Amino acid sequence: MTQQNDCILMLNHLAQEKKKKGEKVTNGTIGMMYLDDGSLPIYPSIRSTLAKHVQDEDLIYSSVAGEEDYRHLLINWFWGDHFEEALTTKNMKVISTLGGTGAVSIAIRESTLKNGLLLLPSLAWPNYQTMANCNKAPFVFYDNFNEKNEFNIEGIKELIEKAIGKYTCVSLIINDPCQNPTGFCMSKKEWSDLVELLNEYTKKISISLIFDVAYIDFADDISRKYIADSVKTLDKSITSYICMSFSKTFSFYGLRIGALAIYSKDKKAVEEEDLDCRMLARSYWSTPNHMAMNSVSDLLHDEASVKILRDDIRKNKELVLKRSKIFLKEAKENGLSWYPYGAGFFVSVKVKYANKVADNLAKKNVFIAPIRDDVLRVAICCMPTDQVYGVAKLIKDAQ
């Protein structure tokens, strides 16, 4: 049966409708970042660049993989020179996609097609499950954290053990840094332990790793290195699918532009996966959004423009971190407990009956999404800073 996962979007819509009617609303539902004045952080250079891209070359079809320029500039934006060599040697290939969603969906489909089992975090962006269902990919959940609130490598190990003999391969999704919905960011050691574990198990089963880095520009820069080093240290038999998005980075949510990078030490595997994924893209949406792609290339094409953008993005990151500090301080004062937060758009608060708490909060025009029966996801990204004050107490009182 099709699982419905649009609760967050529905709650956001409800909050927006009330706001339009002039009611005072606190909207902590949606994964979109707003500035304190309620506008999107679209800086003048971004808006003027977008406005320019209405020419014929923005409206015609591109190739299925998208403009070469865009793909190179995008890798440089997200990864600096970490993958420069891999692009030259063709150990990495990149396909433009419809947002990060397009990238993850194709990666799930491709990596599980041949009797594969998908390993999903139990606390996760709900769309993974929808993608798995729609792509007919069998899946199981690993708990995100062990009892010490560390990344749960043991849980992943157990699931791989169980898959051996039943499935030809396992495909693991890791959403890091700024995991949705917890804000967790993996440490260097957690990454290296994971790589070691996966490399070890390649002797017994095929493995693919899907990196969902949709929120990477809101994390500490060191996460880029942890991930790039991990990708490059994986065994030759492992294919990495790196799913990137400009939705959160440039607030291009509705423009639907991202990319999928496929990496392996085995060039032939990269070539095959690249062809398969391009054909999946061709069948799902045909060609990417040319206007958005050209706008991104324009923004990223010279160093001065990149520097301005990096400064702007850093300010966004700092604003979200400031809100998180306010919320977590008050959460502590009010005796709430939450999953380990490092950075990013969301904090996940543990409650007994999340739906009931969300209903009670909604009666006070405070909208927070119940992401699981026992978890409320507080989207600090979309709450103006002055509205963050007091929300922790309201959550406590609504239980």
User: Minimum CB separation from ligand PLP for residue 211, in Å?
Assistant: 11
* Region of 9-17, 245-253, 268-276, 284-292 interacting with ligand PLP (CB under 6 A): 245-253
User: Minimum CB separation from ligand PLP for residue 56, in Å?
Assistant: 27
Residue 71 token pair: 């793909």
Residue whose CB is less far from ligand PLP, 253 or 389 = 253
Q: Find residue 97's DSSP bridge partners.
A: 258
Where in 123-152 is the site for ligand PLP (CB under 6 A)?
125
Question: CA–CA distance from 117 to each of 94, 108, 166, 174, 301 (Å)?
Answer: 24, 10, 9, 14, 40
User: Minimum CB separation from ligand PLP for residue 214, in Å?
Assistant: 4
Residues with Cβ within 8 Å of 140's Cβ and at least 6 positions away in sequence, in order, are 117, 118, 119, 120, 159
**Residue in the block written with tokens 């969301």:** 346
Q: Find residue 240's DSSP bridge partners.
A: 209, 263
User: Minimum CB separation from ligand PLP for residue 253, in Å?
Assistant: 6
Residue in the shown chain whose Cβ atom is closest to ligand PLP: 99
User: Minimum CB separation from ligand PLP for residue 178, in Å?
Assistant: 9
Residue whose CB is less far from ligand PLP, 105 or 112 = 105
Residue whose CB is less far from ligand PLP, 131 or 234 = 131
Distance CA 78, CA 261 (A): 11
Helix axes 290-300, 303-333, angle to 10 degrees: 100
Residue from the set 91, 247, 297, 316 that interacts with ligand PLP by CB under 6 A: 247
Residue from the set 110, 176, 190, 212 that interacts with ligand PLP by CB under 6 A: 212
Where in 254-283 is the site for ligand PLP (CB under 6 A)?
258
Question: CA–CA distance from 299 to each of 24, 246, 393 (Å)?
Answer: 37, 12, 42
Residue from the set 7, 43, 133, 253 that interacts with ligand PLP by CB under 6 A: 253
Residue whose CB is less far from ligand PLP, 168 or 286 = 286
Residue from the set 108, 160, 214, 260 that interacts with ligand PLP by CB under 6 A: 214
Give the number of C-alpha atoms closer than 13 A to the C-alpha of residue 60, restricted to the C-beta side: 6
Where in 47-106 is the site for ligand PLP (CB under 6 A)?
99-101, 104
Residue whose CB is less far from ligand PLP, 104 or 205 = 104
Residue 285 in the binding site for ligand PLP (CB under 6 A)? no
User: Minimum CB separation from ligand PLP for residue 251, in Å?
Assistant: 10
Strand pairing class (169-175; 116-121): parallel
**Residue in the block written with tokens 């609760």:** 7
Residue 180 in the binding site for ligand PLP (CB under 6 A)? yes
Distance CA 122, CA 245 (A): 22
User: Minimum CB separation from ligand PLP for residue 335, in Å?
Assistant: 28
Residues in the interface with ligand PLP (CB under 6 A) total: 14
Cβ-contact 138, 118 below 8 angstroms: yes
Distance CA 148, CA 44 (A): 45
Residue 26 in the binding site for ligand PLP (CB under 6 A)? no
Residue from the set 31, 116, 155, 342 that interacts with ligand PLP by CB under 6 A: 31
Q: Find residue 245's DSSP bridge partners.
A: 258
Residue 190 token pair: 């957690």
Residue whose CB is less far from ligand PLP, 30 or 160 = 30
Give me the residues that bind ligand PLP (CB under 6 A), please: 31, 99-101, 104, 125, 175, 180, 212, 214, 245, 247, 253, 258
